[in-house]
Amino acid sequence: METIVAKSAGFCFGVKRAVELAEKEAEEKKEVYTLGPIIHNEQVVEELEKKGVYKADSFEDIPRKENVSVIIRSHGVTKEIYKKLCELPVHIVDATCPFVKKIHKIVEERHKEGDGILVVGNPDHPEVEGIRGWCDDDCIVLESPEQAKNVRLEPKKKYCLVAQTTFNYKKFKDIVDILLKKSYYIVVMDTICNATEERQTEACTIARKSDAMIVIGGRHSSNSQKLYEICRAECENTQFIQTLDDLDLNLFQSFRSVGITAGASTPNNIIKEVHSYVRKQ
Protein backbone atom coordinates (compact mmCIF):
# COMPACT_ATOMS: atom_id res chain seq x y z
CA MET A 1 0.00 0.00 0.00
CA GLU A 2 1.38 3.40 -0.98
CA THR A 3 1.48 5.89 1.88
CA ILE A 4 2.05 9.63 1.74
CA VAL A 5 2.91 11.50 4.94
CA ALA A 6 2.46 15.26 4.97
CA LYS A 7 5.77 17.07 5.44
CA SER A 8 4.02 19.65 7.62
CA ALA A 9 2.50 17.05 9.99
CA GLY A 10 3.33 17.26 13.69
CA PHE A 11 4.46 19.85 16.22
CA CYS A 12 4.36 23.46 15.08
CA PHE A 13 6.89 26.01 16.34
CA GLY A 14 4.68 27.30 19.15
CA VAL A 15 3.80 23.86 20.50
CA LYS A 16 7.39 22.60 20.29
CA ARG A 17 8.59 25.69 22.17
CA ALA A 18 5.96 25.28 24.91
CA VAL A 19 6.76 21.61 25.48
CA GLU A 20 10.51 22.30 25.58
CA LEU A 21 10.02 25.10 28.12
CA ALA A 22 7.94 22.78 30.31
CA GLU A 23 10.57 20.04 30.14
CA LYS A 24 13.32 22.52 30.98
CA GLU A 25 11.48 23.69 34.10
CA ALA A 26 10.93 20.09 35.20
CA GLU A 27 14.64 19.30 34.77
CA GLU A 28 15.43 22.00 37.32
CA LYS A 29 13.47 19.99 39.90
CA LYS A 30 10.86 22.68 40.39
CA GLU A 31 7.19 22.07 41.11
CA VAL A 32 5.77 22.77 37.66
CA TYR A 33 2.17 23.46 36.70
CA THR A 34 0.53 24.45 33.43
CA LEU A 35 -2.64 26.53 33.45
CA GLY A 36 -4.84 24.08 31.56
CA PRO A 37 -3.36 21.35 29.32
CA ILE A 38 -0.20 22.73 27.74
CA ILE A 39 -1.40 21.43 24.35
CA HIS A 40 -4.47 19.52 23.22
CA ASN A 41 -2.88 16.09 23.17
CA GLU A 42 -3.55 13.67 26.01
CA GLN A 43 -0.46 11.54 25.34
CA VAL A 44 1.88 14.54 25.56
CA VAL A 45 0.19 15.80 28.74
CA GLU A 46 0.57 12.34 30.32
CA GLU A 47 4.25 12.12 29.35
CA LEU A 48 4.94 15.56 30.82
CA GLU A 49 3.21 14.57 34.05
CA LYS A 50 5.63 11.65 34.36
CA LYS A 51 8.43 14.23 34.18
CA GLY A 52 6.87 16.38 36.89
CA VAL A 53 4.75 18.82 34.87
CA TYR A 54 1.21 18.90 36.25
CA LYS A 55 -1.99 20.47 34.92
CA ALA A 56 -3.87 23.05 36.97
CA ASP A 57 -7.45 23.15 35.69
CA SER A 58 -7.99 26.72 36.87
CA PHE A 59 -6.19 29.73 38.34
CA GLU A 60 -7.47 28.76 41.80
CA ASP A 61 -5.73 25.35 41.56
CA ILE A 62 -2.23 26.86 41.33
CA PRO A 63 -0.24 26.40 44.58
CA ARG A 64 0.84 29.68 46.17
CA LYS A 65 4.48 28.75 46.81
CA GLU A 66 7.81 30.26 45.78
CA ASN A 67 9.26 27.01 44.42
CA VAL A 68 6.41 26.68 41.93
CA SER A 69 6.77 27.38 38.20
CA VAL A 70 3.59 28.20 36.28
CA ILE A 71 3.65 27.78 32.53
CA ILE A 72 1.26 29.79 30.40
CA ARG A 73 0.40 27.45 27.56
CA SER A 74 0.80 28.19 23.87
CA HIS A 75 -2.84 29.31 23.54
CA GLY A 76 -2.19 32.27 25.84
CA VAL A 77 -4.42 33.70 28.58
CA THR A 78 -6.54 36.78 29.16
CA LYS A 79 -4.98 40.02 30.37
CA GLU A 80 -6.79 39.64 33.70
CA ILE A 81 -5.41 36.14 34.33
CA TYR A 82 -1.92 37.29 33.33
CA LYS A 83 -2.06 40.11 35.90
CA LYS A 84 -3.30 37.73 38.60
CA LEU A 85 -0.47 35.31 37.87
CA CYS A 86 2.06 38.12 38.25
CA GLU A 87 0.71 38.82 41.74
CA LEU A 88 1.40 35.26 42.92
CA PRO A 89 4.67 34.22 44.63
CA VAL A 90 5.48 31.89 41.73
CA HIS A 91 7.87 31.81 38.78
CA ILE A 92 6.00 32.49 35.51
CA VAL A 93 7.10 30.95 32.22
CA ASP A 94 5.17 32.51 29.35
CA ALA A 95 4.95 29.89 26.60
CA THR A 96 2.29 31.78 24.65
CA CYS A 97 2.92 31.27 20.95
CA PRO A 98 4.56 34.44 19.54
CA PHE A 99 1.92 34.53 16.78
CA VAL A 100 -0.83 34.54 19.42
CA LYS A 101 1.04 37.23 21.38
CA LYS A 102 1.00 39.37 18.26
CA ILE A 103 -2.80 39.14 18.15
CA HIS A 104 -3.03 40.15 21.83
CA LYS A 105 -1.00 43.26 21.07
CA ILE A 106 -3.07 44.14 18.01
CA VAL A 107 -6.47 43.89 19.70
CA GLU A 108 -5.25 45.68 22.84
CA GLU A 109 -3.89 48.63 20.85
CA ARG A 110 -6.83 48.84 18.42
CA HIS A 111 -9.35 48.65 21.23
CA LYS A 112 -7.63 51.49 23.09
CA GLU A 113 -7.82 53.56 19.89
CA GLY A 114 -11.58 53.03 19.79
CA ASP A 115 -11.77 50.51 16.97
CA GLY A 116 -14.32 47.72 17.05
CA ILE A 117 -12.77 44.25 17.25
CA LEU A 118 -13.85 41.29 15.13
CA VAL A 119 -12.39 37.86 15.89
CA VAL A 120 -12.77 35.03 13.39
CA GLY A 121 -12.57 31.77 15.30
CA ASN A 122 -14.18 29.31 17.68
CA PRO A 123 -15.56 31.30 20.64
CA ASP A 124 -15.02 28.36 23.02
CA HIS A 125 -11.39 27.78 22.06
CA PRO A 126 -8.85 28.86 24.74
CA GLU A 127 -6.89 30.92 22.20
CA VAL A 128 -9.99 32.94 21.32
CA GLU A 129 -10.94 33.27 24.99
CA GLY A 130 -7.47 34.70 25.61
CA ILE A 131 -7.71 37.12 22.69
CA ARG A 132 -11.06 38.40 23.91
CA GLY A 133 -9.48 39.18 27.27
CA TRP A 134 -7.02 41.64 25.71
CA CYS A 135 -9.84 43.90 24.49
CA ASP A 136 -11.96 43.68 27.65
CA ASP A 137 -14.19 41.11 25.90
CA ASP A 138 -15.53 44.01 23.82
CA CYS A 139 -15.57 42.18 20.51
CA ILE A 140 -17.64 40.14 18.09
CA VAL A 141 -16.60 36.54 17.40
CA LEU A 142 -17.54 35.05 14.03
CA GLU A 143 -17.15 31.35 13.38
CA SER A 144 -19.04 30.81 10.13
CA PRO A 145 -20.00 32.52 6.85
CA GLU A 146 -23.62 32.39 8.03
CA GLN A 147 -22.76 34.48 11.08
CA ALA A 148 -20.88 36.93 8.87
CA LYS A 149 -23.97 37.31 6.66
CA ASN A 150 -26.20 38.04 9.63
CA VAL A 151 -23.92 40.30 11.67
CA ARG A 152 -24.83 43.98 11.87
CA LEU A 153 -22.00 46.45 12.46
CA GLU A 154 -22.01 50.20 13.02
CA PRO A 155 -21.78 51.78 9.53
CA LYS A 156 -19.40 54.62 10.45
CA LYS A 157 -17.22 52.73 12.91
CA LYS A 158 -13.75 51.40 12.11
CA TYR A 159 -13.21 47.72 12.82
CA CYS A 160 -10.09 45.59 13.16
CA LEU A 161 -10.47 41.95 12.18
CA VAL A 162 -8.12 39.21 13.43
CA ALA A 163 -8.30 35.42 13.25
CA GLN A 164 -7.57 32.48 15.49
CA THR A 165 -4.14 31.26 14.36
CA THR A 166 -5.40 27.73 13.60
CA PHE A 167 -8.65 28.67 11.86
CA ASN A 168 -9.66 27.12 8.53
CA TYR A 169 -8.04 29.44 5.98
CA LYS A 170 -10.68 28.96 3.27
CA LYS A 171 -13.48 29.67 5.73
CA PHE A 172 -11.58 32.74 6.95
CA LYS A 173 -11.42 34.12 3.38
CA ASP A 174 -15.13 33.41 2.85
CA ILE A 175 -16.03 35.31 6.03
CA VAL A 176 -13.80 38.26 5.08
CA ASP A 177 -15.27 38.41 1.56
CA ILE A 178 -18.81 38.51 2.96
CA LEU A 179 -17.98 41.31 5.39
CA LEU A 180 -16.11 43.44 2.86
CA LYS A 181 -19.02 43.24 0.40
CA LYS A 182 -21.16 44.94 3.03
CA SER A 183 -18.94 48.02 2.70
CA TYR A 184 -18.07 48.26 6.38
CA TYR A 185 -14.82 49.99 7.36
CA ILE A 186 -12.78 46.91 8.26
CA VAL A 187 -9.00 46.58 8.52
CA VAL A 188 -8.24 42.89 7.98
CA MET A 189 -5.25 41.40 9.80
CA ASP A 190 -4.55 37.92 8.45
CA THR A 191 -3.27 36.39 11.69
CA ILE A 192 -3.68 32.74 10.69
CA CYS A 193 -0.29 31.13 11.25
CA ASN A 194 1.66 30.39 8.05
CA ALA A 195 2.27 26.86 9.34
CA THR A 196 -1.49 26.37 9.69
CA GLU A 197 -2.17 27.52 6.15
CA GLU A 198 0.63 25.32 4.82
CA ARG A 199 -0.61 22.31 6.80
CA GLN A 200 -4.19 22.73 5.60
CA THR A 201 -3.18 23.24 1.96
CA GLU A 202 -0.91 20.20 1.97
CA ALA A 203 -3.57 18.03 3.66
CA CYS A 204 -6.12 19.06 1.05
CA THR A 205 -3.72 18.19 -1.81
CA ILE A 206 -2.85 14.76 -0.37
CA ALA A 207 -6.48 13.91 0.42
CA ARG A 208 -7.54 14.80 -3.11
CA LYS A 209 -5.22 12.19 -4.66
CA SER A 210 -5.51 9.45 -2.01
CA ASP A 211 -8.00 6.59 -1.71
CA ALA A 212 -8.08 7.04 2.06
CA MET A 213 -6.82 9.57 4.59
CA ILE A 214 -5.73 9.40 8.22
CA VAL A 215 -5.72 12.52 10.39
CA ILE A 216 -3.89 12.15 13.71
CA GLY A 217 -4.61 14.53 16.56
CA GLY A 218 -6.02 15.08 20.05
CA ARG A 219 -9.79 14.90 20.36
CA HIS A 220 -9.85 18.46 21.75
CA SER A 221 -7.40 19.85 19.18
CA SER A 222 -9.10 22.53 17.11
CA ASN A 223 -6.52 22.54 14.30
CA SER A 224 -6.67 18.73 14.06
CA GLN A 225 -10.45 18.82 13.77
CA LYS A 226 -10.17 21.38 11.00
CA LEU A 227 -7.70 19.14 9.17
CA TYR A 228 -10.25 16.34 9.39
CA GLU A 229 -12.96 18.59 7.94
CA ILE A 230 -10.69 19.62 5.06
CA CYS A 231 -9.61 16.05 4.29
CA ARG A 232 -13.13 14.65 4.62
CA ALA A 233 -14.37 17.15 2.04
CA GLU A 234 -11.81 15.84 -0.47
CA CYS A 235 -11.66 12.16 0.54
CA GLU A 236 -14.75 10.38 1.85
CA ASN A 237 -12.66 7.62 3.44
CA THR A 238 -11.03 9.77 6.12
CA GLN A 239 -10.36 8.60 9.68
CA PHE A 240 -9.60 10.80 12.69
CA ILE A 241 -7.47 9.05 15.32
CA GLN A 242 -5.47 9.96 18.41
CA THR A 243 -3.14 6.97 18.38
CA LEU A 244 -2.56 3.76 16.44
CA ASP A 245 -5.01 1.96 18.76
CA ASP A 246 -7.88 3.97 17.24
CA LEU A 247 -7.09 2.96 13.65
CA ASP A 248 -9.61 0.68 11.92
CA LEU A 249 -7.59 -1.02 9.21
CA ASN A 250 -10.61 -2.93 7.93
CA LEU A 251 -11.63 0.29 6.22
CA PHE A 252 -8.38 0.30 4.24
CA GLN A 253 -8.40 -3.23 2.82
CA SER A 254 -9.35 -2.24 -0.73
CA PHE A 255 -7.32 0.95 -1.00
CA ARG A 256 -4.10 1.41 -2.93
CA SER A 257 -3.00 4.74 -1.48
CA VAL A 258 -3.35 6.27 1.99
CA GLY A 259 -2.44 9.79 3.01
CA ILE A 260 -1.41 10.71 6.55
CA THR A 261 -1.39 14.12 8.21
CA ALA A 262 -1.41 15.30 11.82
CA GLY A 263 -2.30 18.32 13.91
CA ALA A 264 0.14 20.79 15.42
CA SER A 265 -0.03 19.05 18.81
CA THR A 266 0.76 15.54 17.58
CA PRO A 267 4.23 14.21 18.51
CA ASN A 268 6.39 12.69 15.77
CA ASN A 269 6.62 9.28 17.45
CA ILE A 270 2.86 8.73 17.02
CA ILE A 271 3.02 9.81 13.36
CA LYS A 272 5.93 7.44 12.70
CA GLU A 273 4.18 4.57 14.47
CA VAL A 274 1.02 4.99 12.38
CA HIS A 275 3.00 5.39 9.16
CA SER A 276 5.09 2.29 9.83
CA TYR A 277 2.05 0.17 10.62
CA VAL A 278 0.00 1.27 7.61
CA ARG A 279 2.93 0.83 5.22
CA LYS A 280 3.26 -2.85 6.22
CA GLN A 281 -0.36 -3.66 5.43
R_g over Cα of the chain:
20
Phi/psi class of residue 183: alpha, beta or left (left: φ > 0; alpha: ψ in -120 to 50)?
Answer: left
The rounded distance, in Å, linking the Cα atoms of 103 and 160 is 11
Task: Tell me how many degrees the CA angle 197-216-34 measures, rounded to the nearest 5.
Answer: 85
Beta strands (DSSP E) in 57-136 are 68-72, 91-94, 116-120
CB burial class (10 A; 0-12, 13-18, 19+) of residue 216?
buried
Q: Out of 127, 129, 143, 197, which one is annotated catalytic? A: 127
127 belongs to the catalytic site:
yes
**Residue 60 has what DSSP assignment?**
G
Q: Which residues are catalytic?
A: 127
